[in-house]
Structure 1
């Protein structure tokens, strides 16, 4: 209690139990803080922690809320005998005293066809912009002014367009029609701020698109099934494409415009990233529960690492020392030492999926929050993880390796990008 007082933290317990029972509990335990009754469960519901199986009781949960009522930490436990370590809670409280990371987080909300622009200093959504149906991935230009969204579509309608966003003005600049090239997905800027490389699954190809003219400049065939995500080497000369259906990685020479190799890695190859020095490629094989580490120059497989369950994205930290891998089934993020290629910890998202209808994976992973998209802030201190079945972005502190904050966006968040620019005051007139 003394430490909570020193930090200026007020404590409450919220429960649906009867008032007299709560008072007896407080007195018998000598508690110095109030036990508040929530008879209609409205407060419990607002935090998204109602046990849907019983419909009457909350999951045992620890919540840290700032003075503005914004939830900054949530720990949900299935067992009333389990509690988070106090140091974990104190870390979350300490995080509130630090200024938020600068810049704008761009979050794609797949189920509602929008992009949320979140001011990372305040943690507030400052604009919500329309995209096409099923926006899956987004890339921000090096100068942070533009972001390009791939409109993948849904089960009823395959998408074939890109949406270009002006971040400071918080508006849609244009929509680029890709014609007969359907299901655009992975995307990355090439060099400056005018060209992007984008995968198109139905065409088994990667397109190079000029986003100012809207023209497709060139097409590089992968000849693989479900060419999904891609990563470009720091020198911009090669692209590596993860192919879910073929369980492989395609290597493309962007200068020559030709296919160099198709390398089998494992069933369900999907997540992919390249180390900052350009020497290694990390690929997550979601159906095989493995990670493949590839030598980017020789194209030799250096190692295959077990990583359960359903590894779906990989992101390397800016210093190249760690690799973060999200696991959709288990609802956590694994951290690997990039040098030893060993898993050193797992970070639970501590969130429960309450609603699964109308989402890509539905209820396939039970109560998992289905963490997918990962973005690491350029400062190397925070990672943002999109929980697609919980509508929450978890903020992972990369100094302490704990989740110490949360952001809310729209329905089924997934694709993430970062801009160092903020939405200009008074703009956002096109925001919803």
Structure 2
């Protein structure tokens, strides 16, 4: 009798073990509850509070994944193929790190140490390269993802070189220098050969043989490429800025004096100073059609909407507290505003000029699009 009980117990235990093994195998086959895949066009939003990058479906406004980043994230950009995101870890100019995120795998990749370029802040992607400002080093830097190396940098000599815009061909770079109240225009230029410092070479005297060209002795030095900086004075505390879609104007707003400065990029001169009273101005962005300019105020939480042609205010819209990052939808229908103080991204309907929704992001700030072909 005892043997039968033992045998029965053994069979029951063996059956339970088999069921458990089958269950585990099923779980392994199915895997854990999979995160929703990143859409071909995704909205990226940084959380200063949680130190994460949120990947968001712009259609449903649902957060699909949150990926850890460094300790003080400020700005984000995606690569041209939409597969990788780069985040500047700022630290008020003291840190030296770029967080890298695999947007398809929704996971962190090895970080990029930017040292000796300290305090990376503004960041963009152009001409196959990653460009960023290093505020603590008063420098603009270019990084080549293909080689994993910094292949160019240029000092501005200005204080708090902060935000950045690079033309698609990588030949012009614009930055705001907040504490210097200036904009730097950096241009990749073909320079004329330098003149001879001590007169012409001996063989250029009357009756002598002509110079033998760039490669011969006594010939003039060759033309060379170099970057040239033009500094333009703007409103005090100018930080956020944007270039008009037609590439003709640069607008920036001063956080201290509330003045919007308009620069003609052909002549590199100021053509207008608008007393907009946008105190605490933080970011500025054109709508894709170039008709409107949006300015966020970190101090008041307002979004100022300007007519780019008349340069008059159309509306002042309250988004909450501490309006910061601005990102406009490609079709110009919506704007996303990172409201740091309210811990959300406000969604603004640009047709009705009203707040139409919110996305919960703790300490929301930098925003970007990631688009895969």
Q: Same fold (TM over 0.5)?
A: yes
Residue 103 of structure 1, aligned match among 41, 47, 50: 41
* Count of matched residue pairs: 299
TM alignment of 1:247-262, pairs within 5 A = 247-254=181-188, 256-262=225-231
State the match for 1:407 in structure 2.
359
Contact 2:338 2:364 in 1 (8 A): yes
Q: Secondary structure of 1:389's match? A: helix
Instruction: Report what 1:304 is aligned to.
Output: 273
Secondary structure at the counterpart of residue 315 of structure 2:
strand
Aligned to 2:161: 227
Q: Which residue of 1 aligns with 2:124?
A: 188
Structure 2: give runs of 5+ residues left out of the alignment: 1-38, 190-224
Following superposition, the deviation at residue 173 of structure 1 comes to: 2.7
Q: With the length of structure 2 as denominator, give the TM-score of the two structures.
A: 0.76
State whether residues 233 and 274 of structure 1, in contact with CA within 8 Å, keep that contact through their aligned partners in structure 2. Answer: no
Name the counterpart of 1:389. 341
Conserved in 2, the CA contact under 8 Å of 1:102 and 1:120? no
* Per-residue Cα deviation, 1:363-421 (whole angstroms, up to 9, x for no partner): xxxxxx10000001112111000000111101111111111111112x21100001235
| Matched-pair contact (CA < 8 Å) for 1:176–1:211 | no
How far does the alpha carbon of each residue in 1:202-232 deviate from its partner, in whole angstroms, 9 at most, with x for none?
A: 1101000112433111111110000000112
* 1:264 maps to which of 227, 233, 243: 233
Contact 2:294 2:304 in 1 (8 A): yes
Q: How far, CA to CA, are the matches of 1:281 and 1:243 in structure 2? A: 14
The residue aligned with 2:370 is 419
- Structure number with larger C-alpha Rg: 2
SS of equivalent residue, structure 1 residue 202: helix
Alpha-carbon distance in 2 for matches of 1:112, 1:152: 15
User: Distance between the aligned counterparts of 1:104 and 1:298, measured in 2?
Assistant: 37
Instruction: Pick closer, same or farther for the CA change 1:342–1:233 going to 2, 3 Å.
Output: farther
Unaligned runs of 5+ in 1: 1-100, 352-368, 423-432
**Are residues 1:178 and 2:114 paired?**
yes
1:159 corresponds to which of 82, 91, 95: 95
Selected match of 1:319 from 264, 279, 289: 289
Whole-Å separation in 1 of the counterparts to 2:248 and 2:343: 35
Asked whether 1:200 is paired with 2:170, we answer no
Matches for 1:31-430 after TM superposition, within 5 Å? 103-153=41-91, 158-192=94-128, 195-254=129-188, 256-307=225-276, 308-349=278-319, 351=320, 369-409=321-361, 411-421=362-372
How far did 1:240 drift?
Answer: 0.9
Shift in Å at residue 190 of structure 1? 1.3
